[in-house]
Structure 1
Amino acid sequence: MNFSFEVIWQNLPYMLAAARWTLAISIAGMAISIVWGTFLCAARLSKDAFVWRIAALYISFFRGVPLLVQLLMFYYMLPYIGLDLPAILAAILAVGLCSAAYTAEILRGSIQSIPAGQTEAANALGIPAFSLWRRILVPQAIRIGLPSLVNELILLVKVSSLASVVGIGELTRVSQNITGQTYRPLEIFIAAAAIYFVINFVISRLGRLAERRMQVG
């Protein structure tokens, strides 16, 4: 059986359409990750022992349990508590909440590298804690941790393939369906790999561009 580019060309539109779901899960999950991860980071750095222990337990759980298990938990558990969400929303929520555990640690390490004098000066000037985080600590933490945050987004693009287990027609699921119809797994999965590579290559380049601009600023 010879390698057929025609098989790739015929099915490429379907795979590119499916890649939009891959991007939707990854980008929306990353947005949740940054917002919730910031709150987790603040809790992790809290002087209240109960608060930081709860945050540490959350981070340990979501970093210690495979994302596939978390995804299945969210998908099957939410209806039991009255939240009958579509599969795509359950997947985004699971991905975002899991990624937030990693983002919180990235931001925590970045904030701890910021000179303590900035926080001391803000406290001396009477700047509220919320403004301190929003205007001073978080922007610097994102700039310092940007390479790691970009890597986290790239990881989310790859792990979004796990959403196929709950029936979401993202790139991996559609590639499997096409393979079942064409019996040409080599061509289809090479094409899928190329699409994943292009997506992550673009994300990597955009991340480097953003990093350079922040350094200049």
Structure 2
Amino acid sequence: MDLTLFVTYGPLLLKGIYYTLYVCAGALVIGLLGGMLLCLLGQQPRGPIPLLTRLYVTLFRGTPLLVQIYLVYYGGPFIGLEFSELQVGIGGLGLYCAAYFAEIFRAGYQSVPKGQLEAAVDLGLSGPQIFWQVRLPQMLTLILPTILNQTILMVKESAILSVITVPEMTTSATKMSTETFSVVEPYLFLAVTYWVITYLLSQLARRLEQRTNRHLAST
């Protein structure tokens, strides 16, 4: 291994790490907010809105992220939609993950016992109060591990964005490999960096899960 390559290409690799974290953070916000919105809209008893939300979830979960990115980035200009690679990366990854988060939120939403909701109504709580004080805390406790696991998957999925030249880690490692004809150094760095990020996220998930379930320790 030629460790001097990391000195020469260190700024490029650090830039890649920054953009990976930046893109994933933006996509996570879009995914969580979009997933919660889709979940709530899907709970409507009737009308076209629940059908549209199911269609959205089915389409985005049923097609590869790579195909969606290509359609928006390369197909968008044909219909007058032009976005930068960073906008497509953050928005595309966020909208893709929103479909998965919507299903996670739906499972948590429906898992709260109806007896507790009925008790909240008997106590005179309004609809928003029931959601914020009864349903939401319990559903988040139940689905927190799944949300964090999906976040880890999203970080790894972000490597696909290199196909549209988003300057994230995979793009940086590929550029380093192309210019130096090295394979081991750049892609070993890429693998180790992804492992470190996902390991830290998994540790965060474990700590959050322990804190949210602390009240169950005595049972």
* TM-score of the pair, normalised by structure 1: 0.89
Following the alignment from structure 1 to structure 2, what is the Cα–Cα distance between the partners of residues 100 and 65?
14
Which residue matches 1:181?
179
Shift of 1:77: 5.1
Letter in 2 for 1:35: L
Q: Deviation string for 1:133-191 (max 9, x for gaps)? A: 33332332222111111111111111111111222110001110110111111111011
Query: Structure 1 residue 94 and structure 2 residue 75: aligned?
Result: no
Which residue matches 1:117?
115
| CA spacing shift, 1:137–1:81, aligned 2, 3 Å | farther
Q: Deviation string for 1:53-107 (max 9, x for gaps)? A: 2211111100001001111223245556665433212211111111111111111
Which residue matches 1:73?
71
Following the alignment from structure 1 to structure 2, what is the Cα–Cα distance between the partners of residues 181 and 81?
36
Deviates further, 150-159 or 44-53: 44-53
1:191-206 matches, within 5 Å, as 191-206=189-204
Aligned partners of 1:38 and 1:107 also within 8 Å: yes
Following the alignment from structure 1 to structure 2, what is the Cα–Cα distance between the partners of residues 197 and 179?
20
| CA spacing shift, 1:15–1:39, aligned 2, 3 Å | same
* TM-score of the pair, normalised by structure 2: 0.88
1:11-160 matches, within 5 Å, as 11-76=9-74, 78-79=76-77, 84-160=82-158
Instruction: Tell me the number of residue pairs that the alignment of Structure 1 and Structure 2 aligns.
Output: 215
Following the alignment from structure 2 to structure 1, what is the Cα–Cα distance between the partners of residues 211 and 36?
22
Letter in 2 for 1:138: L
Gaps of 5+ in 1: none
Deviates further, 198-207 or 66-75: 66-75
Following the alignment from structure 2 to structure 1, what is the Cα–Cα distance between the partners of residues 18 and 42?
34
Aligned partners of 1:75 and 1:91 also within 8 Å: no
Q: Provide the identity percentage.
A: 32
Secondary structure in 2 aligned to 1:168? coil
Aligned partners of 1:8 and 1:191 also within 8 Å: no
